[in-house]
């Protein structure tokens, strides 16, 4: 039976998508809420992408997971991208409550925008630092993307239109966890990764600046079923306490510890929570 397709048997249920950062964030929520609420937590991780997590929430198979505001705006709400962090958050919060009876909690403190990533020697050789410089080189380059990036309104098609890009071949679609391996082994020349990916630092890769501001903000936010907030009286307060507590640097470090140093995600999360006084004694 597919993970996440079981009926919901009591206890707080936390989901995640199927890449390292989401595993870390799911585990962070689980450990933090186990401590804060003194309750059992059911971990339902690796639920593929945004659409599966959203359907799992609506079906009551999970109670909450971490989403990114730009993803919620474009992929779920099908709204046109807008730039301001607060404007995106306010719209997503309002529409998720109205359309889905889901609560969008305050941002955790980091923005995980898409990042177009190359091997550093190639970027240096071509004098590439911004996406607006990529056009003349794109016809000789192969691109790697995750499954969702092709279909999303804030994904591949809008990107190539905005920057006038034409690559050597259609993008190669693969699991997010394989993008950097494909880049390192020269199967592709540029990938659509994420700003907080630990392997960017681990592999000393180059990130091209989105100088036309194509991508909207992607602030990480917990999304919770309203019924779960009623069932657990301290849940809203606990999630509010997490607001602003995970910086971009901290998220990169945790991602690198798991992806780059191959440390256990649960141990990495436990250390972070202890160092930041987020575990009750």
Sign of CA dihedral 94, 99, 104, 110: negative
Question: pTM of the entire structure?
Answer: 0.80
pLDDT at 35 over 70: yes
Distance CA 79, CA 76 (A): 8
Q: Provide the pLDDT for residue 281.
A: 63
* pLDDT tens digits, 158-182: 999 999 999 999 999 998 778 999 9
Kindly state the average pLDDT of the residues 98-111: 97
CB 34 within 8 A of CB 279: no
User: Beta partners for 115?
Assistant: 193
Q: Where are the domains of the chain?
A: 12-111+218-275, 114-208
Q: Provide the pLDDT for residue 7.
A: 43
Q: Provide the pLDDT for residue 8.
A: 47
Yes or no: domain 12-111+218-275 corresponds to CATH 3.40.190.10? yes
- Residue located via tokens 């091209």: 208
pLDDT at 6 over 80: no
Kindly state the average pLDDT of the residues 205-225: 94
Label residue 10 by pLDDT band (50, 70, 90): low
Yes or no: domain 114-208 corresponds to CATH 3.40.50.10300? no
Q: Provide the pLDDT for residue 199.
A: 85
Q: Provide the pLDDT for residue 2.
A: 37
Do 12-111+218-275 and 114-208 agree at the fold level? Answer: yes
Kindly state the average pLDDT of the residues 122-146: 97
pLDDT at 63 over 80: yes
Q: Provide the pLDDT for residue 3.
A: 41
Kindly state the average pLDDT of the residues 46-74: 95
Distance CA 1, CA 206 (A): 40
2 CB-near residues (< 8 Å, 6+ apart) = none
* pLDDT tens digits, 252-281: 999 999 988 999 999 999 999 999 999 986
Smallest CA-to-CA distance from 238 within 14, 88, 18, 23 is with 14
pLDDT at 202 over 90: no
Maximum mean pLDDT: which of 72-76, 237-241, 256-260:
237-241
């Amino acid at each position: 039976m597919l993970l996440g397709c079981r009926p919901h048997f009591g206890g707080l249920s936390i989901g995640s998508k199927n890449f390292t950062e989401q595993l870390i964030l799911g585990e962070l929520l689980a450990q933090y809420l186990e401590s804060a609420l003194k309750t059992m937590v059911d971990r339902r991780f690796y639920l593929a992408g945004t659409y599966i997590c959203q359907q799992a929430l609506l079906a009551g198979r999970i109670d909450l997971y971490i989403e990114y505001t730009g993803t919620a705006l474009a992929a779920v709400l099908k709204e046109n991208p807008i730039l301001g962090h607060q404007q995106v958050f306010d719209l997503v919060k309002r529409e998720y409550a109205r359309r889905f009876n889901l609560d969008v909690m305050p941002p955790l403190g980091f923005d995980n925008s898409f990042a177009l990533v190359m091997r550093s020697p190639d970027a240096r050789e071509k004098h590439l630092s911004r996406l607006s410089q990529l056009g003349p080189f794109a016809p000789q380059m192969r691109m790697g993307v995750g499954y969702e990036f092709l279909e999303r309104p804030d994904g591949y098609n809008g990107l190539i239109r905005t920057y006038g890009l034409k690559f050597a071949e259609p993008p190669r679609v693969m699991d997010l966890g394989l993008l950097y391996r494909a880049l390192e082994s020269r199967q592709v020349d540029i990938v659509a990764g994420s700003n907080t990916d630990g392997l960017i630092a681990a592999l000393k890769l180059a990130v091209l600046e989105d100088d036309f501001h194509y991508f909207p903000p992607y602030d990480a936010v917990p999304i919770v079923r309203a019924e779960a907030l009623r069932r657990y009286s301290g849940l809203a307060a606990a999630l509010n306490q997490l607001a602003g507590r995970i910086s971009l640097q901290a998220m990169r470090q945790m991602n690198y510890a798991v992806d780059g140093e191959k440390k256990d995600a649960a141990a990495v999360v436990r250390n972070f929570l202890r160092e930041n006084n987020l575990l009750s004694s």
